[in-house]
Structure 1
């Protein structure tokens, strides 16, 4: 597929939507046979992402190379709780 045939969106703040339409036709001819193969149709996939506390939905990136779609969803840095040592008396 070509990148122009695929659409990547973030809906409702945390739903990754990948959609598109495939239009293809392959034709083979030889002296005796004529064959046409068509593969076309629309597709739609939705993935629910973790909340904004876990991912940076405003920084989602998509790339397509050699027909392979790569979607990158950066994670938020998890703030680790501060740990204090407590002296044990006794």
Structure 2
């Protein structure tokens, strides 16, 4: 019985990892630039670069995923772009 529970817990970790990876990649693959959606169409290049840096979008994909996982484990899902309140 104990081996069964351990095996199920290990599979749960693997499944949760792949679900989080797929969720992250789907959000990354959505067409359009999220920075332009946040700053609006008339924002300057400097403003867009600042927002891109604040959101960490200037970092490599795997670094972004690592930050995403760290924040997910801590329960920090960021801020809503619409209401500017914590999610």
TM-score, with structure 2 as normaliser: 0.28
| Higher strand content, 1 or 2 | 1
The higher relative CO (CA closer than 8 Å, separation ≥ 6) is in 1
> Max radius of gyration: which structure?
1
Q: Going by fraction, where is helix more abundant, 1 or 2?
A: 2
